[in-house]
Structure 1
Amino acid sequence: MLKWLAACFFIGSSIFSTAQIQLEADPFAAAFFSQNITQEELKEHLTKIASPEFEGRETGSEGQEKAGRYIIKSLRQAGIEKAPQLRDYHQTLAFTILDWQHLGLRVDSSSFKHMRDFLALKEQNQNLPELQASEVIFMGYGIDDANYSDYLKADVVGKVIMIYLGEPLNEDSISYVTGTQKLSRWSSSLDLKLEAAKRHKARAVLIVDPQIKKRFSANRSRELGPSMFLKAVPAPTTPNHVFISTKVAKQIIGDQEVAFMNNLTEIREKGQGRPLPIQSQVIINQHLTRSLLYSKNIIGYLPGMDSTLQDEVIILSAHYDHLGKRGNSIFHGADDNGSGTTAVLEIMATLAEAKKEGLGPKRSVACIFFTGEEKGLLGSKYYAEHPVIPLSQTVADVNVDMIGRTDEAHQQNPNYIYVIGSNRLSTELHQINEAVNASFTHLDLDYTYNAKDDPNKFYYRSDHYNFAKHGIPSIFYFSGVHKDYHRPSDIPEKILYNKYETVAKLIFHTVWELANRSRRIIVDVKDDTNYNR
């Protein structure tokens, strides 16, 4: 305590500034304890978190399990408790993993590539190691409706069929299904077409998509590797299906192009579909595995010191998973998100030290190290749906994801941090962050990615999102994407430790102020964000 009192004489004069909001937390205590956050300790933790020992921390891997044990050990050593509602420092999640072991499409002598010529979605298909067919039946639009049917006089039992998306229209854009210019559900629901194929016992469906590149873009991140889901994903009962490009369709049609075009013309002019058998050697390989995987959200808890405020909780979050290994290459994930993980450990240790001195936060602070962020924010999604601390008691989420580098736009000025989401729900949260920065850390706060029309959609891409969608004020600290992002070269040696320390201190000051204000921050912004993306 004497050390802290003495230090107050040396740090008081430079920490006051004019801001839109009055800071309430003891500025001398804040400035003193923030000195515990040092480059040296950040580097020590980060070097361990991003070490080869943890093998890139892939969700559910042994390397991630080791990283989790290291985080828990560090929390214990710092005096951070487990959450009262838990038996240990973790919340266990079960994932369903879907992965293509072999995925291929061959037409006659031509082989085609997934995500270049065709697309098959894992959760929408069954395991089909190999299907060979010497005939493909073109079935128009694959519609089987009382007003229009492509299945009249069709025998497709056990067959591979090929269909178009949408529905047939006459020259006046009148639908043959609805009899008006209004399209039917057959245009918007692929499930209807797959159910029709199932009723007629087709074995597989090839769907011609003239705009398949858009479909590639929309599904690229989840289809280039194993897909992970928080729930059981039963095998579908409808036939396997593959979206194919017009290039693949032309290869299937081959020298029957005239008959094919005549068939399409008859459908569009007369509203009469009829099956067209096409002789073509097609081999479809869809060897799909389904497995169960377990992983953990790591949760620590520091009870507040004010008996009237300690039931209100600040969440300090970072994801600790990364991309694991690809062959012999380890994706170390030093910045993504070893930097956030380590910063949270240091901030929690600093808060615990303040509490030991009798000056700890009034409100409780929980730290959560999320799993499955790289798989689609799955750890935070699960937590928000199964909260350890009731969401009604959660004041705010302060989320840390990649804070140790600079991006191309700031090569000449690393003294910055992107701030995302701070004003989406609470004016006070935004003003507090601005005020503590003006008083203590003096970083350039860049709000570029906070714009609602940000094409990168970073607001939707880290774990704070799953708190914000439940109406909890959230702030996301981020230093931007760099050339080592999602590469094995994202290593501790490339972290800018001067900048890293300053950003970690800014986050500490924001948490400190949130935890010590006399009144909980309020939600006072009408949020028009689309959370059903």
Structure 2
Amino acid sequence: MTSQQLLLAASLISLPFASIAQDKFANTITAADLEKHLRILAADDMEGRETGTRGQRKAADYIASQFTAEGLKPIVKEADGKLGYLQPYTLYKKNWGDFYVSAGGKRFEPQKDFMPNGLLYLPTETTYETVFAGYGIGETNYDDYAGRDVKGKAVVVLDDEPKAADGKKLVSGTSDASKWGGPNGWRAKSLLAKEKGAAQLFIVSAESAEAFKQLLTQRSAMQARFNRLSLKPGAENVGSVGVFLITSDMAAALLNTSAATLNQTMTQLAQATKPIASSLTGSIEMKADRVDEKTESSNVLGFIEGTDKKDEVLVVSSHYDHIGISADGQINNGANDDGSGTVSVLEIAQAFAKAKAAGKGPRRSILFLTVSGEEKGLLGSQYYADMSPVIPLEKTVADLNIDMVGRVDDIHLGKSDNYIYVIGSDKLSSELHKISEETNQKYIKMDLDYKYNDPQDSQRIYYRSDHYNFAKHKIPIIFYFNGLHPDYHKPTDDIEKIDFKLAEKSARLVFYTAWEIANRDQRLVVDSNKQ
């Protein structure tokens, strides 16, 4: 037998043992251990882990203690020159100062008469002409902006999207909401308004004061997360398009008309199959001043050094923050969002630490990155990737991000729960996508659902978790996700509803995928740009 034949035979013999080694360490990731960690991180005394609060700091300390216990290296340089697990960063809370909209002799105020969505800074009173633009939709078959000049104006539009008599949406021609409808339709409408040159956008989202109060309650979590914190102080977004949810009564005042006339126009629009001409216009004065307030937060980093390829680093990430305590005093424990992802990272880190202790450590280094600030706009991962990457981005080979993997979503209720949404695996690297599918087929055999990987996804899930701050730097990513559920961003997202066997299976899939990436001969090739 030649030396080459001996080498080939040895390699073939070693393959089953390599697989056995992986299985041994993957099997240390258990439902029981995931539950043990989550009962601590999603407990009431963590106070909902809101970024910048005592509960968030307590959660950070717990994660750091687990990294210490498992022997992960601290990698963040501290002020005294020592290395630690916490990566501190400063955030600036944008509190409203003098903020109002005046029209028709009436003064309207935030959270009482209207709800601002997003960051706006307008330090001096400014006058705008107002114009009504139907539903604010811009499609070939339904264009509310056709023939309308809205440049520099405040545009008033209706929420949701028009329907035909049979209930089907006019834009899509089906019963499914298009990007213009549903609770996130305002995103598409605001982007289009900005594209058309509008200065402000007012969306009629409630027809009465009582309905508006309900809207405030329903969207309190959204208000808490929308750009209330920033990584930079000062007056950013001066002159940006503000988005406001308002009542029909306020809309009538903005358009210098009566509630009855506006309601008649709204009824005509609802009954029509195409946009209708409207001469409703008016004038407003508004001011939106903001004041900075500092708050401190931190990411938590644990590091396992590789062997012959240790200068190349794989990131495994999650966010450990949540939305804190509601106005009515209820604690949002965030068991699924993203307690499930964070405890998965802890278990995967433990598995790799055990492998390293047994002499089976990864060839590439692995950074276990748990971030805060996600619920405030992906700020913790933005700080890491844009401002202070502990590992240079050019040495970062991929990010495997885990967010909300402990629940079965409405789409899969009553069906198989052996699934996970895989998002972004093919966006930047065809190799990563292939590794993802082959690893799953070899070890886990979950149904990989690509619903939210669709570029036309109206939820825009690809852009809504921390992996995106790596993807925008052309670093390949996979986002693991089990979908939305009725308890999303509510106090009812509690540990009793977590499917720990599902979370175990998902975490093991991430472990096996990380093992393949960390131990392959060649670094992943970036050969695609489907973002």
For the criterion TM > 0.5, the same-fold answer is yes
Mark the CA change 1:434 to 1:108 in structure 2 (over 3 Å): closer, same or farther: closer
Mark the CA change 1:523 to 1:248 in structure 2 (over 3 Å): closer, same or farther: same
Confirm or deny that 1:313 pairs with 2:309: no
Please list, as runs of the form range in 1=range in 2, the aligned pairs for 1:60-209 lying within 5 A after superposition: 60-83=52-75, 87-100=83-96, 112=108, 114=110, 118=114, 123-125=119-121, 161-164=127-130, 188=151, 190=152, 208-209=154-155
Aligned equivalents of 1:431 and 1:240: distance in 2?
A: 41
Identical amino acids, percent of aligned pairs? 39
Aligned equivalents of 1:368 and 1:91: distance in 2?
A: 10
Mark the CA change 1:358 to 1:236 in structure 2 (over 3 Å): closer, same or farther: closer
2:380 corresponds in structure 1 to: 379
Confirm or deny that 1:448 pairs with 2:451: yes
Q: What count of residue pairs does the alignment treat as equivalent?
A: 421
CA contact (8 A) 2:341 2:405 kept: yes
Aligned equivalents of 2:357 and 2:241: distance in 1?
A: 61
Amino acid at match of 1:361: P
SS across alignment from 1:413: coil
Give the TM-score, by structure 1 length. Answer: 0.70
SS across alignment from 2:84: coil
How big is each residue's C-alpha offset from its partner over 1:293-343, in whole Å with a ceiling of 9 and x where there is no partner?
A: 11111111000122xx01110000001111000131111000000000000
1:519 corresponds in structure 2 to: 522
Amino acid at match of 2:441: A
How big is each residue's C-alpha offset from its partner over 1:205-228, in whole Å with a ceiling of 9 and x where there is no partner?
A: xx6423375899237887566611
SS across alignment from 1:339: helix
Amino acid at match of 1:48: I
CA contact (8 A) 1:24 1:518 kept: no
2:406 corresponds in structure 1 to: 404
Mark the CA change 1:455 to 1:286 in structure 2 (over 3 Å): closer, same or farther: closer
CA contact (8 A) 1:99 1:122 kept: no
Mark the CA change 1:357 to 1:98 in structure 2 (over 3 Å): closer, same or farther: same
Aligned equivalents of 1:69 and 1:413: distance in 2?
A: 37
How big is each residue's C-alpha offset from its partner over 1:149-182, in whole Å with a ceiling of 9 and x where there is no partner?
A: xxxxxxxxxx87452479xxxxxxxxxxxxxx99
- 1:432 counterpart (430, 435, 449): 435
* RMSD, aligned α-carbons: 3.8
CA contact (8 A) 1:304 1:364 kept: yes
1:462 corresponds in structure 2 to: 465
Amino acid at match of 1:479: N
1:228 corresponds in structure 2 to: 229
CA contact (8 A) 2:156 2:251 kept: no
Tell me how far 1:487 sits from its aligned partner.
0.7
Mark the CA change 1:403 to 1:255 in structure 2 (over 3 Å): closer, same or farther: closer
Mark the CA change 1:108 to 1:465 in structure 2 (over 3 Å): closer, same or farther: closer
Confirm or deny that 1:421 pairs with 2:387: no
SS across alignment from 2:52: coil
Aligned equivalents of 1:49 and 1:114: distance in 2?
A: 34
Aligned equivalents of 2:238 and 2:465: distance in 1?
A: 34
How big is each residue's C-alpha offset from its partner over 1:120-146, in whole Å with a ceiling of 9 and x where there is no partner?
A: 677544679xxxxxxxxxxxxxxxxxx
Bigger Rg, structure 1 or 2: 1
CA contact (8 A) 2:131 2:255 kept: no
CA contact (8 A) 1:210 1:245 kept: no
Aligned equivalents of 2:243 and 2:312: distance in 1?
A: 50
1:335 corresponds in structure 2 to: 336
CA contact (8 A) 1:419 1:447 kept: yes
Aligned equivalents of 1:236 and 1:395: distance in 2?
A: 33
Confirm or deny that 1:471 pairs with 2:474: yes
Please list, as runs of the form range in 1=range in 2, the aligned pairs for 1:280-359 lying within 5 A after superposition: 288-306=290-308, 309-327=309-327, 328-359=329-360
Amino acid at match of 1:364: S
How big is each residue's C-alpha offset from its partner over 1:204-253, in whole Å with a ceiling of 9 and x where there is no partner?
A: xxx64233758992378875666111111238998999978895475478
Mark the CA change 1:400 to 1:249 in structure 2 (over 3 Å): closer, same or farther: closer
Q: Where in structure 1 are there 5+ consecutive unaligned residues?
A: 1-15, 17-22, 129-158, 167-180, 191-206, 257-276
- 1:40 counterpart (32, 37, 40): 32
Aligned equivalents of 1:362 and 1:228: distance in 2?
A: 38
Aligned equivalents of 1:510 and 1:95: distance in 2?
A: 34
Which range moves more in the overlay, 219-228 or 372-381?
219-228
Mark the CA change 1:389 to 1:211 in structure 2 (over 3 Å): closer, same or farther: same
- 1:217 counterpart (171, 186, 190): 186
Amino acid at match of 1:380: S
SS across alignment from 2:156: coil
Confirm or deny that 1:365 pairs with 2:311: no
Aligned equivalents of 1:311 and 1:242: distance in 2?
A: 45
Aligned equivalents of 1:40 and 1:120: distance in 2?
A: 43
Which range moves more in the overlay, 384-393 or 118-127?
118-127
Tell me how far 1:119 sits from its aligned partner.
6.2
CA contact (8 A) 1:25 1:516 kept: no
Mark the CA change 1:116 to 1:460 in structure 2 (over 3 Å): closer, same or farther: farther
Aligned equivalents of 1:470 and 1:322: distance in 2?
A: 25
Mark the CA change 1:485 to 1:182 in structure 2 (over 3 Å): closer, same or farther: closer
Amino acid at match of 2:317: S
Aligned equivalents of 2:237 and 2:480: distance in 1?
A: 40
Give the TM-score, by structure 2 length. Answer: 0.70
Which range moves more in the overlay, 343-352 or 215-224?
215-224
Aligned equivalents of 1:238 and 1:374: distance in 2?
A: 25
Tell me how far 1:396 sits from its aligned partner.
0.6
1:177 corresponds in structure 2 to: none
Which range moves more in the overlay, 375-384 or 238-247?
238-247
1:156 corresponds in structure 2 to: none
Aligned equivalents of 2:344 and 2:323: distance in 1?
A: 20
SS across alignment from 1:211: strand
Amino acid at match of 1:346: E
Aligned equivalents of 1:120 and 1:284: distance in 2?
A: 13
Tell me how far 1:390 sits from its aligned partner.
0.6
Aligned equivalents of 1:436 and 1:240: distance in 2?
A: 45
- 2:394 counterpart (384, 392, 395): 392
Aligned equivalents of 1:399 and 1:95: distance in 2?
A: 23
Which range moves more in the overlay, 381-390 or 309-318?
381-390
Mark the CA change 1:254 to 1:414 in structure 2 (over 3 Å): closer, same or farther: closer
Tell me how far 1:502 sits from its aligned partner.
0.8
SS across alignment from 2:483: coil
Mark the CA change 1:24 to 1:456 in structure 2 (over 3 Å): closer, same or farther: farther
Tell me how far 1:99 sits from its aligned partner.
2.8
Tell me how far 1:26 sits from its aligned partner.
2.1
Aligned equivalents of 2:437 and 2:496: distance in 1?
A: 30
2:483 corresponds in structure 1 to: 480
